[in-house]
A = this chain, B = another copy of it.
């Protein structure tokens, strides 16, 4: 029996965490808009008119994935795409009014969901939670960059 205990596997833990979040999001925030889609909306509220690649970079999605997410949001009428007149390769993205409205509505629910999600941890532990995961993710992303 050379098997390993999965609970000491960070990858397995990360997957469980993400799935748990996904389910909670579905019940507490929205069944229509997913968490990555919200991240895109959120980025465009902060920086309207950003190009597609940069949006992807902000939310941590590669060019293929961001293209699909953007196209879905476009189909739902939450954002618009336009060629950059300065650089014909780029697409510039902007929220529609509906997109802004949806973002505003979901922001409230997201905050509530995050509270529930992190409720098992004390305020101090929540700090550690963010810091530890952030450090591991940052380090791994840097390994990739090389």
Contacts and interface: CB of A to CB of B under 8 A. Distances in A.
Report the copy number of this chain in the oligomer. 2
B42 A4 contact: yes
A12 B35 contact: yes
Contacts of A96: none
A49 to B, nearest CB: 13
A134 interface: yes
Interface of A: 1-4, 6-25, 35-36, 39, 42-43, 45-46, 58-60, 103-104, 107, 110-111, 114, 116-121, 125, 128-130, 132-141, 143-144
Contact of A12 (B15, B59, B136, B144): B59
Nearest to A125: B132
A17 B14 contact: yes
Given A2-B103, A23-B140, 11 more contacts: A6-B42, A9-B39, A10-B129, A11-B114, A13-B134, A13-B137, A15-B36, A16-B133, A24-B144, A128-B128, A129-B133
